[in-house]
Amino acid sequence: MPYVSLTEALAAALDAREHETGLHSKRVACHTMVLAKRFSSDAATLRQVYWGALLHDIGKIGIPDAILLKEGSLTPDEWGIMQRHPDIGRHILDEVPHLAQAAEIVQCHEERFDGSGYPRGLAGEDIPLWARLFAVIDTLDAITSDRPYRKGLGFEVAAAEIQRMAGSQFDPLAVQAFVAEEKTLREMVALKCAESPAEAGCHVRG
Ligand SMILES: [Fe+2]
Residue 98, domain CATH: 1.10.3210.10
Residue 20 in domain: yes
Q: How confident is the prediction for the chain on average, in pLDDT?
A: 90
The answer to whether position 36 is within a domain reads yes
97 found inside a domain: yes
Q: Which of 3, 31, 22 is nearest to 200 (CA)?
A: 31
List pLDDT tens digits, range 24-68. Answer: 899 999 999 999 999 999 999 999 999 999 999 999 999 999 999
**Chain segment 32-44, per-residue pLDDT in tens:** 999 999 999 999 9
Task: Tell how far the Cα of 57 is from the centroid of ligand 1, in angstroms.
Answer: 5
* C-alpha of residue 186 to centroid of ligand 1, in Å: 23
Q: How far is the CA of 82 from the centre of ligand 1 (A)?
A: 9
Question: How many domains does one find in the chain?
Answer: 1
How far is ligand 1, taken at its centre, from the CA of residue 60, in Å? Answer: 8
118 domain residue, yes or no: yes
Residue 184, domain member (yes or no): yes
* Spacing, Cα 111 to ligand 1 middle (Å): 10
Give CB contacts under 8 A, 24+ apart, made by 10-16. Answer: 10/55, 10/58, 11/54, 11/55, 11/58, 14/55, 14/57, 14/58, 14/60, 14/61
Question: pTM (2 decimals)?
Answer: 0.90
**16 occurs within a structural domain:** yes
Q: Is the pLDDT of residue 148 over 70?
A: yes
> Domain residues for 107?
2-195
